[in-house]
Structure 1
Amino acid sequence: MMFRANPSVDDAFMPENPENEWQPSPEPMPAAERHGTDAVLSAHEIALIRASVTVVAPHVAELPAYFYGVLFSRYPHARDLFPPEMDVQHDRLVRALLLIVDLVDDPKHLVRFCSDLGRDHRKFGTQSAHYAAVGECLLATLAHFAGPAWTEDIATAWTRAYTAVAQAMDQAAAADAAERPAVWNAQIVHHRAYGPGLAEITVRTDQPYAYTGGQFVSMETPWWPKIWRYFSPANAPRPDGTITFHVRAVPGGRISNALVHQASVGDVVRLGLALGDMVLDPTSTRDVVCVAGGTGIAPIRALVEQAALDGVQRRMELFVGARTANELHGLDDLLHMSRQHRWLNVRAAVSDEDAPAGSSHLLRVLAESGPWRHHDAYLSGPGPMMTAAGRLLGRGGVPLERFYYDPFVQLDVPDPGATAGPGH
């Protein structure tokens, strides 16, 4: 199974408010321990870090509450900078730790991911001094749950790993601040209900907003301040600067329900930096196979628009799956685009309400339409559908290095021999 860099951990550690009253040392770690982002941990240090995680693993459910308890106890003003409800925050902390451990022996991808993380953290008002406080409390938390197994050598290894993470984030944020704002105000200019629990929302930013079709965007709403959620634009950049999102109201989803049922034209949301690598590889000349389901149609639609905008002539085979015909809300646009561009072919598969996103019929059509071994594969939609499609394509010869997919899902696909790093 591959572990992909997951952007939903981006606010796992840091506050979500520019007001800062913390007073830790401005150094991320003591100067003697700082090795910079070029530091490479030894095999022994990597083994120590992973062994310590094994020791702490039985306490993973307790770890986030303890960490934030230590953080808020030592730095009381920090509590006001986080959302009132910390349940999602707890989950993100665990995933952030797993990510660090997963990439600790891959400095190139660790630095790359952390650089994106640091740029995105600007929307929270994160400052250099925050990293020291977080690192101090993180190590205290790990030491608490590791107990007697926590040694000076383990503490040193974790310090080096965390310092590399903190410095990559901090340096990237500083460079980014010289080029663009941390957040963009975006006014809703169009709000259209597609059906129960689904809406198309178009916004216009107050300043130019750069992104590429296939990327995702974090959004904060006025109804739930300090809480950010990710949505994929359904279009490539337009001359008028508008961006369209397809939003489904999920059970318990505060942001999605507010956007679908409460938002209206004139309301203003805030956008963070566009991120993600599910974009067309400019170095590839291979044809493309895309599989999309549900609101996962949005980034694939944007990807197709981007190809047309850039004059890409690679052939694109697009498969769209849904449980019912009513859920194929973006299909008409895609079919219209296929009539305009000879390099685009679109096929839809509808099954029934008991099958996830039309997966059974979709996979049969996908399998019969191959072979795909010479294609780049782009997947977007519900996790079960994506995993099933990924396995089918993987067994058909598509190597992991040529998979590009929704970063909120981990795929468990067979690897014909190639190895891919985080970022696709």
Structure 2
Amino acid sequence: MGLDDREALRVLRDAFRPDCPDLPDFPDREPTGSNELVRSFYDNWFALDTSVRDLFPPEMDSQRTAFAHALHWVYGELVAQRAEEPVAFLAQLGRDHRKYGVLPRQYETLCRALYATLRDHLSHESRHAWSDAVDDAARQSLNLITGVMSGAADHDEGPGWWDGTVSEHIRVSRDLAIVRLHLDQTLHYHPGQYVNVQVPQCPRRWRYLSPAIPSDPDGGIEFHVRAVPGGLVSSAIVTETQAGDRWRLSAPHGSLGIDREGGDVLLVAGSTGLAPLRALIMDLTRFAVNPRVHLFFGARYRCELYDLRTLWQIAAHNPWLSVSPVSDYDRDPSWAADYPDLSPPRGLHVHQIGRLPDVVTKYGGWSDRQILICGGPAMVSATRTALIAKGAPPESIQHDPLSR
């Protein structure tokens, strides 16, 4: 029966159950830990096809757990006999994997290694789960998975990646930097989208960043980056990047956006979460008439509100934009003296002190607004929860995946 055999597909789904089974079933969320099956798969694949190992970073824990969770979700959809969403997900995954330089034969070796690993894992004497029906379902499902990915990659006519040269690196605070590049060819994206980025200091370690300006036909692009504790890539970008570095970017992802006909807008940005919202605001300046937009821009300290001057300039010429600066603390730390004073001229709303979710919701639930939230996962989750508690409809709130 193959793909119609729900019981056989259920066996395959359960084989990929993440180590944290209580996580929501979304393919873009990344659980913690790893699992024996997936660890064995990668070992088998690398042994079968030695060229594959060079596509992955030295540390594999994150990759293994993301792979396990994605396949657990895909097989769950197949068990439910829902093919449309997983096929679309796999096709996008295949197109996105072009940036790694994946070759068609590597999909073939992936299929062979994963089939062999599943057979050995499920045939183990403590499981006895392998059967002719499971064998048939495994062969058909793996052919579907690798076939969709390979086919989508093969038929995608756009570039697999975009290379660019760093033109400016501006250290605006202790752990914040603005990086501007010039791409070899134009990258077309919608304001609010994000791209996957590889930097020369951390080869094969890709990280998502949101452009802070709309797509530039001349190839310019700008990123705002905060060094995350323990984050190799973000720390390297903030402390080591210099003009002349060559970066590689993936195709854009995400659907964050403003409907100009959808009513007034509330934007909530925490630290460098400002970047995609800034791109959206800059895009709106092209139009003579816009909905009212109120932006709350928050950080730990006043000195980390790094882009208030730009926001002041935009607001000064566009009366539909209001900007409220917010910081957790009223005083700047001593190290702020080592960096430029980024305070804007008078004209923005009064600077407010407090947690961003608390400051935003003290004005109510903003239930009549389109709401976009960008920043760290904890801030986004807290702000979304607080707004809903105040009466904001959940369907009116947009944010990027909390784990990308």
TM-score range, shorter chain: 0.7 to 0.9
Question: 1:56·1:145 contact (CA, 8 Å) conserved in 2?
Answer: no
Within a 5 Å distance, the mapping from 1:413-424 to structure 2 comes to: none
Residue 53 of structure 1: how far off its partner (Å): 4.2
Question: What is residue 300 of structure 1 aligned with on the other side?
Answer: 277
Provide the secondary structure at the position in 1 that maps to 2:177.
strand
Question: What is residue 150 of structure 2 aligned with on the other side?
Answer: 170
RMSD: 3.2
CA distance in 1, matches of 2:5, 2:239: 53
Question: Which residue, out of 400, 404, 409, partners 2:403?
Answer: 409
Within a 5 Å distance, the mapping from 1:178-327 to structure 2 comes to: 178=157, 180-238=158-216, 240-281=218-259, 285-309=262-286, 313-327=290-304
Provide the secondary structure at the position in 2 that maps to 1:92.
helix
Question: 2:18·2:34 contact (CA, 8 Å) conserved in 1?
Answer: no
CA distance in 2, matches of 1:408, 1:142: 31
CA distance in 2, matches of 1:98, 1:374: 38
Question: 1:315·1:343 contact (CA, 8 Å) conserved in 2?
Answer: yes
Task: Describe the shift of the 1:120–1:349 C-alpha distance in structure 2 as closer, same or farther (beyond 3 A).
Answer: same
Q: Which has the higher contact order (CA 8 A, sep 6+)?
A: 1
Task: Describe the shift of the 1:214–1:310 C-alpha distance in structure 2 as closer, same or farther (beyond 3 A).
Answer: farther
CA distance in 2, matches of 1:57, 1:315: 43
Q: Which amino acid aligns with 1:70?
A: N
Question: 1:235·1:301 contact (CA, 8 Å) conserved in 2?
Answer: yes
Q: Which runs of 5+ in 1 are unaligned?
A: 1-31, 36-40, 411-424
Alignment deviations for residues 389-412 of structure 1 (CA, whole Å, 9 cap, x no partner) = 1112333454444432122439xx
Question: 1:316·1:343 contact (CA, 8 Å) conserved in 2?
Answer: yes
Task: Describe the shift of the 1:76–1:267 C-alpha distance in structure 2 as closer, same or farther (beyond 3 A).
Answer: closer
Residue 232 of structure 1: how far off its partner (Å): 0.9
Q: Which amino acid aligns with 2:109?
A: A
- Deviating 4+ runs (over 6 angstroms): 55-59
Residue 280 of structure 1: how far off its partner (Å): 3.0
Question: Which residue, out of 110, 124, 130, partners 1:134?
Answer: 110
Residue 139 of structure 1: how far off its partner (Å): 3.7
CA distance in 2, matches of 1:189, 1:345: 31
Provide the secondary structure at the position in 2 that maps to 1:84.
coil
CA distance in 1, matches of 2:312, 2:48: 57
Question: 1:48·1:157 contact (CA, 8 Å) conserved in 2?
Answer: no
Within a 5 Å distance, the mapping from 1:56-67 to structure 2 comes to: 60-67=34-41
Residue 317 of structure 1: how far off its partner (Å): 2.5
Alignment deviations for residues 4-42 of structure 1 (CA, whole Å, 9 cap, x no partner) = xxxxxxxxxxxxxxxxxxxxxxxxxxxx97x8xxxxx67
Provide the secondary structure at the position in 1 that maps to 2:306.
coil
Identity of aligned residues (%): 33
Residue 125 of structure 1: how far off its partner (Å): 1.8
Q: Which amino acid aligns with 1:153?
A: A
CA distance in 2, matches of 1:99, 1:309: 41
Task: Describe the shift of the 1:214–1:395 C-alpha distance in structure 2 as closer, same or farther (beyond 3 A).
Answer: same
CA distance in 2, matches of 1:369, 1:56: 41
> Is 1:387 equivalent to 2:381 in the alignment?
yes
Question: 1:319·1:346 contact (CA, 8 Å) conserved in 2?
Answer: yes
Question: 2:266·2:366 contact (CA, 8 Å) conserved in 1?
Answer: yes
Question: 1:359·1:385 contact (CA, 8 Å) conserved in 2?
Answer: no
380-389 vs 317-326, which moves further: 317-326
Task: Describe the shift of the 1:55–1:391 C-alpha distance in structure 2 as closer, same or farther (beyond 3 A).
Answer: closer
Aligned residues: 366
Provide the secondary structure at the position in 2 that maps to 1:149.
coil
Alignment deviations for residues 235-269 of structure 1 (CA, whole Å, 9 cap, x no partner) = 11235431111112223323222222222112221
TM-score with structure 2 setting the length? 0.79
89-98 vs 382-391, which moves further: 89-98
Question: What is residue 15 of structure 1 aligned with on the other side?
Answer: none
Q: Which amino acid aligns with 1:134?
A: L
TM-score with structure 1 setting the length? 0.75
Task: Describe the shift of the 1:293–1:161 C-alpha distance in structure 2 as closer, same or farther (beyond 3 A).
Answer: farther
Task: Describe the shift of the 1:329–1:44 C-alpha distance in structure 2 as closer, same or farther (beyond 3 A).
Answer: same
> Is 1:119 equivalent to 2:95 in the alignment?
yes
Task: Describe the shift of the 1:48–1:84 C-alpha distance in structure 2 as closer, same or farther (beyond 3 A).
Answer: closer
Q: Which runs of 5+ in 2 are unaligned?
A: 22-32, 331-351
Question: 2:329·2:353 contact (CA, 8 Å) conserved in 1?
Answer: no
Question: What is residue 83 of structure 2 aligned with on the other side?
Answer: 107
Residue 57 of structure 1: how far off its partner (Å): 7.0
